[in-house]
Chain A
Amino acid sequence: MTQAEIKLCSLLLQEHFGEIVEKIGTYLIRTGTQPLRMIVNDTGLSLDQVKKALCVLIQHNLVTYQLQKRGFVEYEAQCKRVLRILRYPRYIYTAKTLYNDTGELIVEELLLNGKMTMSAVVRKVADRLTETMEDGKTMDYADVSSTFVRLADTHFVQRCPLVPEAAETPEVPPPPAPTLVINEKDMYAVPKLNLVGKGKRRRSCDEDENHEHKAKKHKKDGEDAEPPPDDGIYWQVNIDRFHQHFRDQGIVSAVANRMDQTSSEIVRTMLRMSEVTTSSSAPYTQPLSSNEIFRSLPAGYNIVKQVLDQYLTLLADDPLEFVGKSGDSGGGMYTVNLHKALASLATATLESIVEERFGSRCARIFRLLLRKKHLEQKQVEDFAMIPAKEAKDMLYKMLSENFVSLQEIPKTPDHAPSRTFYLYTVNILSSARMLLHRCYKSVANLIERRQYETKENKRLLEKSQRVEAILASMQATGAEDVQLQEIEEMITAPERQQLENLKRNVNKIDASENQVDETIFVLESFIESTLKKP
């Protein structure tokens, strides 16, 4: 793990889980797999605190444990998973676009709690939706359940690995840690539940609660007299499926930008048909025949079969090679080249970064090098049609920032500089890695700056919160406008201006974090696609 990643992970953990969890999470990321007593010794926290923090981290799938052969348990942090916290808003927003408010709340609850049983999720989401509805209306559990089932069918939520059925004899003591297993087939199987009920508002007192001993001891919902029917079956968000969706979105919008709306719809159809048949790390989708594509086009698009064939031929001939032709049966077999598409997206990102950072002439040199692979200094000047001095200056600027690298080709075995060719080249993979590292640093800097801004104005923020609370309570008890105005004037005009500035800055920084995360996603997907899986 690079220093930038570790710093970013520690900032994310601190913002979302507090200092204790941050300390332990950072320690585990930095030092790798450790048993419990080492963590307690090295972090200096109390055993109780370490245990609580580890429970929280395991609950949120940020730390996994493994039973070693010697009989003790070791804990390992998942650095990549911690970095995903940055992307939570994007997951929730995607769920909203696909499955409306119900889907959005289901995904949000699952992300906030790490893992939950289906009955708990349904109950919480129904309550939340009921809060927002008009008086008298409630949300039925059945609606929420059906949305949940749809999310499971499209693989957006998946089951967590289960505790194995313990059929132990009394002589064998239970192992120090359960080994969780999950069957591929069961990963998306929804248990047969009969969830009947409606969402409850917090204000109303329900007779149902009295039956379940709740009124007495302020117990939570989960501690009913009897365990729920799906006890032990926990669900979590399937992050890979969301990533697959983002990747598809990226490819479709790229095709739309390069060609036109219809071709992007065709590619979208092809990707939709391959959603469940192709694994997320496959280099290309399963071949689809032109007839199948024609049948699966959305109802609104009534294009003739011939036009579809023309579009497909055009897509297959495109130099970017998003779509490839793999055969002629069935009217032509076409696949989407996923890895090539990811490489094109990453390259486009690189080009745009060079353009924005150094100017359009540098971008021209960069694109030239991408196309021609290796060029000498003189050739660069000639092909790019840029005067020698400026070309030299630009090349060295890019070289110093590691966007471009030098390849030495010696003419003689002694590598004498006067008798060596020096060729400029762009290595996409290493440039992508370098930029990814820079993105992590940027996000860490943004978060630090945001925290600094908030801390500087802490006093003012607290004052404004108090004033708002007073205003709200006065409005609730019915106060005159004059009194309300008096309270509002407690915050002076320059203070109001300061608050406005603060709000604007914090919003800008947050929006920047979201957008840097989009770049992180493109670069990470590309780098992952180049790794050879065993």
Chain B
Amino acid sequence: MAGSGRGRGRAAFTFNIEAIGFAKGASLPEVVCKPPPLFPSTDNKPVPLKTGEGEDYMLALKQDLRGTMKKMPYFLAVEEDREAIERYSKKYLEIEKERAAWTPDWRRLPREMKPSKKTKKAGTKPKKAKSSELKSNLDVLKKIEELEKKDEEEEKSEDEKDKTKDKEGEDDEEAEEPEEYDEEEHEEENDYISSYFEDGDDFGAGSDDNMDEATY
């Protein structure tokens, strides 16, 4: 029986080796020590490609299709920021892009696909910024007026002042508490109320070491 004992240094298998075709005692093929090569050489080369009118036409169609699809509005390319040189053609390219943009039939798509609200928001952002700026200006003016009123009322009577202060305080404290804190924090030790004097952008921030130019 094959493999009944350690066959004196010879390999012994658990099955009849003749079953897979090796004659008894014949040398087995060598052991493979490394993975097969990545591009093994083939003895049989592939058959040449089909040629003909149909195949040529389909080839041309394929290449045309590739080129055409790159120009369609469906081709979403990642926009590269090439702001290095302002090109004159940029103005016209943008018009071309707008003209080529495609809008789908929104009735056929889920409602969440529609970006109309988003674009409106993007459009109103600058408006909002402007309005917030306007509001901030208004706020500043309001604050000035209210503080003026406060000072006048302080001179008049304390009761009225208290009442109005309470009233205004309720309104203003919520709005002005942060600002009051800020004012108190930034208060310099002088008689000037800092809210009357609006700092320019360059006050304190810009170092005026090279003040050769006169400011107007």
Identify the A interface with B (CB < 8 A).
15-21, 36, 47-49, 51-56, 58-60, 65, 67, 73, 88-90, 92-93, 96, 108, 112-114, 163, 174, 176-178, 180, 218, 220, 232, 234, 356-359, 377, 388-389, 392, 416-418, 420, 422, 507-508, 510-515
State A485–B170 Cα separation when bound (angstroms).
87
**A218→B20 contact, CB < 8 A:** no
Contact with A along B75-86 (1 / 0, CB 8 A): 111100000000
A166 to chain B, nearest CB (A): 9
Whether B46 lies near A73 (C-beta < 8 A) is no
Q: Is the CB of A93 within 8 A of B99?
A: no
Choose one: B2, B15, B77; the contact of A19 (CB below 8 Å).
B77
- If A88-B65, A178-B108, A417-B15 touch, whether A18 touches B21 (CB-CB below 8 Å) is no
Say whether B78 contacts A422, CB under 8 Å.
no
B157 at interface, CB cutoff 8 A: no
Q: Could you write out 28 A-B pairs with CB less than 8 Å apart?
A: A15-B66, A17-B76, A18-B75, A18-B78, A19-B77, A51-B115, A58-B108, A65-B110, A89-B58, A89-B61, A89-B62, A90-B58, A93-B57, A163-B108, A177-B110, A178-B110, A232-B105, A232-B107, A234-B108, A356-B44, A356-B46, A377-B19, A377-B21, A418-B14, A418-B19, A510-B62, A514-B55, A515-B49
Across the two chains, which residue of chain A brings its CB closest to B49? A511
Q: Across chains A and B, which 8 residue pairs bring their CB atoms closest together, nearest first?
A: A417-B15, A177-B110, A89-B61, A392-B21, A418-B15, A89-B62, A73-B110, A18-B76
Contact check, A48 vs B118: say whether CB atoms are below 8 A apart. Answer: yes
CB distance from B52 to the nearest CB of A (A): 11
Chain B residues, CB < 8 A from A113: 72, 74
Chain B residues with CB under 8 Å of A180's CB are: 108
For window 20-71 of chain B, which residues contact chain A by CB distance below 8 Å?
20-21, 42-44, 46-47, 49-50, 54-55, 57-59, 61-63, 65-66, 68-69
A56 near B74 with CB under 8 A, answer: yes
Are the CB atoms of B58 and A93 closer together than 8 Å? yes
Establish whether residues A174 and B111, one from each chain, have CB atoms under 8 Å apart when the complex forms: yes
B155 part of interface (Cβ distance < 8 Å): no
Whether A92 contacts B61 by the Cβ 8 Å rule is yes
Main secondary structure of the interface of A (DSSP, over half): helix
Q: Which residues of B contact A59 (CB under 8 A)?
A: 74, 104
Could you tell me if A508 and B104 are in contact, using CB atoms closer than 8 angstroms?
no
Least CB distance from A241 to B in Å reads 19
Is B20 a contact partner of A511 (Cβ separation < 8 A)? no
Chain B, 122-171, CB within 8 A of any chain A CB: none
Contact across chains for A510 and B59 when beta carbons are under 8 A apart: yes
Q: Which residues of B contact A16 (CB under 8 A)?
A: 66, 69, 75
- Using Cβ atoms and an 8 Å threshold, which residues of chain A touch B65? 88-89, 92, 108, 112
Question: Does the CB pair A21–B76 fall under 8 Å?
Answer: yes
Q: Are B104's CB and A17's CB within 8 A?
A: no
> Are the CB atoms of A507 and B59 closer together than 8 Å?
yes
* Neighbour of B77 across the interface among A18, A47, A417, CB < 8 A: A18
Whether a CB of chain A sits under 8 angstroms from the CB of B93 is: no
Contacts of B14 in A (CB 8 A): 416-418
Partner of B110, one of A176, A418, A510: A176
Chain B: residues with Cβ within 8 Å of the partner, total of: 48
Residue in chain B with minimal CB distance to A359: B44
Contact assessment for B104 and A55 in the assembled complex, using a CB-CB cutoff below 8 Å: yes
Minimal beta-carbon separation of A433 from chain B (angstroms): 22
Residues of B near A51 (CB, < 8 A) are 112-113, 115
Would you give the shortest CB distance from A220 to chain B, in whole angstroms? 7
A220 and B99 within 8 A (CB)? yes
A418 to B58, CA, bound (A): 57
Which chain A residues border B214 with CB–CB below 8 Å? Answer: none
Q: How far is the CA of A92 from the CA of B66 in the complex (A)?
A: 14
Residues of A within 8 A of B42 (CB): 357
Q: How far is the CA of A512 from the CA of B55 in the complex (A)?
A: 10
Give the contacts of B164-195 with A (CB-CB under 8 A).
Answer: none
Chain A residue with Cβ nearest B108: A163
- A54-B113, A177-B110, A512-B49 known; A17-B59 Cβ under 8 A: no
| Distance (whole angstroms) from the CB of A489 to the closest CB of chain B | 27
Beyond the given pairs A18-B75, A113-B72, 19 more chain A to chain B contacts, judged by CB atoms under 8 angstroms and listed by A's residue number, are A15-B66, A15-B69, A16-B69, A17-B75, A19-B77, A59-B104, A60-B74, A88-B65, A93-B58, A96-B57, A112-B65, A163-B107, A177-B111, A218-B95, A359-B44, A377-B19, A377-B21, A417-B13, A514-B55
Q: Is the CB of A218 within 8 A of B62?
A: no
Q: State the CA gap A17–B13 with chains docked (Å).
A: 59
List, in ascending order, chain A residues with CB within 8 A of B201's CB: none
Determine if B211 is an interface residue (Cβ-Cβ < 8 Å).
Answer: no
For A58, the closest partner residue in chain B by CB is B109
Chain B residue at minimum C-beta to C-beta distance from A75: B110
B98 on the interface (CB 8 Å rule)?
yes
List chain B residues, Cβ under 8 A from A357: 42, 44
Q: Say yes or no: B76 contacts A49, CB within 8 Å.
A: yes
CA distance A47 to B98 in the complex (A): 20
Contact of B107 among A53, A178, A512 (CB under 8 A): A178
Across-interface contacts of B104 in A (CB, < 8 A)? 55, 58-59
Closest to B3 in A: A418
Question: Chain B's nearest CB lies how many Å from the CB of A363?
Answer: 11
- A358 CA to B43 CA, complexed, in Å: 8
The docked-state distance in angstroms from the alpha carbon of A55 to that of B116 is 14
Please, how many angstroms separate the alpha-carbon atoms of A47 and B118 in the complex? 10
Measured CA separation A392–B63 after assembly (Å): 46
**Is the pair B74, A17 in contact by a Cβ cutoff of 8 Å?**
yes
A60, A174, A510: most-surrounded residue (chain B CB, <10 A): A510
